[in-house]
Amino acid sequence: MFTLKNLSFSYYLDKAEFKAIQNVSLEITQGDFVTLAGPSGSGKSTLLSLLGLIENPPRGSIYYKGEDLSILSEGRKNYLRRHEFGFIFQHFYLFPVLTAYENVEYFLVKQGILKEERKERVHWALETMGLDQFKHKKPSELSGGQRQRVAIARALAKWPKVIIADEPTASLDSKTGQSILDYLLTINRDAKVGIIMSSHDPMVLSLSPRIIRLHDGRLEL
């Protein structure tokens, strides 16, 4: 699904160059569950941002289903982000003014899904995440774990080809973190949704089917 060839990416702090990703080449196939591992500053989040079209095109190439991401128009990028990718962030980024149900429904409206199907998908996603009884609660009325499950349900309801999750368990205690990981593994297995996540949590790494280790922006072999 993703093919990376000699990928490099640098940040510039004032005039100093910080090489976040250096010469990375790898292949991620459809339905893979991949965990990017490595210490802080190793380039995990940057690599996820590049895969999710959040960062601008780098040096080297990234292909998604054979499509060169570095030459995509803004419209095509928006389309892929809206229809093919789901995102989960460490800090959830839920709409605080909407209920759990409305949070999950929001991007489906944007996808142009009709009301009846929307309803079915939202119920399915919330039920899958064990949140049915919390659907009318606002984020402020939910625990950290419940909020992250709403964020996963929101990504899942889009029926994405791949979910990109940046440290989804980092803000949670280990028990809640493990349950979140269980949910992601279930989604990957049952819904055939690819998962690419970053983590430096040993518990997460111990349960991950495939781990890609990064150090100073390079692949650790």
Partner 1 sequence: MLMKIAVKNLSRQKTRTLAVLITVALGISSLMIYHGFNTGIMNQYRENTIHARYGHGQINIKGYRDTIWEKPWEHWMEPDHKAFQDLANSNLVDNIFPRVSFYGLVNNGKRSISGLGEGVVGKIEAPFFNTINIIKGKNLSTEEDGIVLGKGLAEALGLGIGDRVTILANTVDGSLNGLDFFVTGIFHSGMKYFDDVFFKIQLDKAQTLMDTNKIEYAAIGLHNIENWEILAGSLKAHSDIEATAFNVLDKVYYQNSVDFLQAQFNFILIVIFTIVILGIFNTVSTIIMERKNEIGNLRANGESKGEVMILILSEGVILGFFGTAIGIVMAYLINFTVLAKGIEMPPGPGITRQFITHVELQTSFIFICLLIGILSTLIGSFLAGRKVVNLPISELLRNAH
Q: For partner 1, which is the closer residue by CB, 161 or 208? A: 161
Q: For partner 1, which is the closer residue by CB, 14 or 206? A: 14
Q: For partner 1, which is the closer residue by CB, 16 or 221? A: 16
Measure the CA dihedral 163/172/50/207, to 10°.
-60
CB of 109 to partner 1, least distance (A): 5
Cα–Cα distance for residue pair 70/13, rounded to 1 Å:
23
CB of 184 to partner 1, least distance (A): 18
Residues near partner 1, by CB under 8 A? 49, 52, 54-56, 74-75, 78-83, 87, 89-91, 93, 95-98, 102, 105-107, 109-110, 158
CB of 128 to partner 1, least distance (A): 19
CB of 158 to partner 1, least distance (A): 8
Q: For partner 1, which is the closer residue by CB, 48 or 208? A: 48
Asked whether the beta carbons of 150 and 103 are under 8 A apart, the reply is yes
Query: Which amino acid, one-letter code, is at 180?
Result: I
Cα–Cα distance for residue pair 45/215, rounded to 1 Å:
12
Nearby residues of 105 by Cβ (< 8 Å), 6 or more positions away: 118, 122, 157
